[in-house]
C-alpha cells in the first residue's frame, strides 16, 4: 500500500472529502433511498479524485485498496448513522413539539418546579433558592443542549472514522510490502513521469517551431487590370 502521489491522497484525506460530499447530500434524501444514493455519491467522488490521482502519477494498486477501504469498510458504517442523524434533524431531535417556544416555556417551568421542590425538601442539602432558577434556565435551553449533543456525537463519529482510516494506513507501513511490489510501484511512477516529460518536451518543440511566413499582397503594388472583353456581333 504505497501512496506515491502525495499526502493529499492518503486514506484519511480522501475519506474526509468523500464524507463531506455525502454529508452535503444526505439531508435531502428519503430514508428508503439514502443507502443507494450515498453509495452512488461516494463512487462519484472517488471517480473525481481518481482523475487527479492519475495525473499525479499514482499507482492503480494503491487506489484499488483505497476504494475498497472506503466503499466496503467506511461507507457501510456511515450509512446507518447518517440515516439516523437525518431522522433526528427532521423530527426535531425527538423533542416535544420540536423544541418550539411553547416547549421551551414548559421545560423552563418544569425546571423551576423541580428546583423549588429540591430546595424545599429538608433531606436534600441545597440551601440556595437560586438553584430553582438555575434549573429553570437549564430547562429553557434544553432544546439547544439536545441538538448540540446529537450533532457533536455525529461529528465525533465522522472524525473517528477518518482517524481509523489513517491509523489503518499507518499500520500497513512500507516494511509490510514486498520488494517486488515496491519495485513495481516505483517503476510505474518512473514510467509515468517519463511519459509526461516526453509529452511536455514534444509540446515545447511544437511551440518553438518556426511558422512559415504568409505571403500577402503589397499595399503599393498596382491591382491587375481586367482583360478587355471581346466584342460580339451587335455590340
Q: pTM value?
A: 0.69
pLDDT, tens only, 110-135? 988 888 887 777 766 766 677 788 88
Query: What is the pLDDT, as a whole number, of residue 98?
Result: 84
Q: Look at residue 187 and tell me if it is in a domain.
A: yes
Clarify whether residues 37 and 82 are in a common domain.
yes
Clarify whether residues 118 and 64 are in a common domain.
no
H/E stretch holding 69 reads: helix 60-69
Clarify whether residues 72 and 170 are in a common domain.
yes
Clarify whether residues 7 and 31 are in a common domain.
yes
Clarify whether residues 76 and 101 are in a common domain.
no
Clarify whether residues 125 and 12 are in a common domain.
no
Clarify whether residues 74 and 116 are in a common domain.
no
Domain that holds residue 27: 1-90+153-194
φ, ψ for residue 233, nearest 5 deg: -65, 130
Clarify whether residues 12 and 61 are in a common domain.
yes
Who wins on pLDDT, 212 or 69?
Answer: 69
How many percent of the chain have pLDDT more than 70?
69
> What is the C-alpha separation between 142 and 49, in angstroms, rounded?
42
Query: What is the pLDDT, as a whole number, of residue 217?
Result: 47
| Residue 185, Cβ density class (10 Å: 0-12 exposed, 13-18 middle, ≥19 buried) | buried
Mean pLDDT of 134-142: 91
Count of CB atoms situated within 10 Å of the CB of 36: 11
Query: What is the pLDDT, as a whole number, of residue 159?
Result: 97
Clarify whether residues 104 and 77 are in a common domain.
no
Q: What is the tally of structural domains in the chain?
A: 2
Clarify whether residues 60 and 166 are in a common domain.
yes
Assigned C-alpha cell, 188 = 510505474
pLDDT, tens only, 160-187? 999 999 999 888 765 555 555 555 555 6
> What is the C-alpha separation between 21 and 43, in angstroms, rounded?
11
Q: Work out the angle at residue 61's Cα, subtended by the Cα atoms of residues 5 and 197, and round it to the nearest 5 degrees.
A: 45
Asked if the model's pLDDT at residue 35 lies above 50, the reply is: yes
Query: What is the pLDDT, as a whole number, of residue 114?
Result: 87
Amino acid at each position: 500500500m504505497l501512496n506515491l502521489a502525495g499526502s493529499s491522497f492518503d486514506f484519511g484525506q480522501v475519506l474526509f472529502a468523500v464524507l463531506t460530499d455525502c454529508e452535503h447530500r444526505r439531508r435531502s434524501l428519503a430514508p428508503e433511498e439514502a443507502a443507494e444514493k450515498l453509495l452512488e455519491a461516494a463512487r462519484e467522488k472517488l471517480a473525481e479524485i481518481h482523475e487527479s490521482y492519475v495525473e499525479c502519477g499514482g499507482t492503480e494498486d494503491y487506489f484499488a485498496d483505497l476504494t475498497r477501504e472506503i466503499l466496503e469498510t467506511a461507507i457501510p458504517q456511515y450509512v446507518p448513522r447518517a440515516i439516523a442523524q437525518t431522522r433526528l434533524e427532521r423530527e426535531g431531535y425527538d423533542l416535544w413539539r420540536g423544541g418550539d417556544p411553547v416547549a421551551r416555556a414548559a421545560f423552563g417551568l418544569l425546571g423551576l418546579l423541580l428546583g423549588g421542590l429540591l430546595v424545599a425538601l429538608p433531606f436534600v442539602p441545597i440551601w440556595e433558592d437560586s438553584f430553582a432558577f438555575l434549573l429553570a434556565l437549564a430547562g429553557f435551553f434544553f432544546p439547544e443542549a439536545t441538538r448540540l449533543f446529537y450533532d457533536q456525537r455525529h461529528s465525533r463519529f465522522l472524525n473517528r472514522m477518518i482517524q481509523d482510516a489513517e491509523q489503518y494506513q499507518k499500520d500497513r507501513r512500507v516494511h509490510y510490502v514486498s520488494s517486488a511490489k515496491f519495485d513495481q510501484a516505483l517503476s510505474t511512477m518512473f514510467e509515468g513521469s517519463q511519459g509526461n516529460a516526453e509529452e511536455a518536451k514534444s509540446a515545447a518543440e511544437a511551440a518553438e517551431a518556426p511558422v512559415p511566413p504568409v505571403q500577402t499582397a503589397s499595399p503599393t503594388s498596382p491591382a491587375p487590370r481586367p482583360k478587355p472583353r471581346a466584342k460580339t456581333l451587335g455590340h
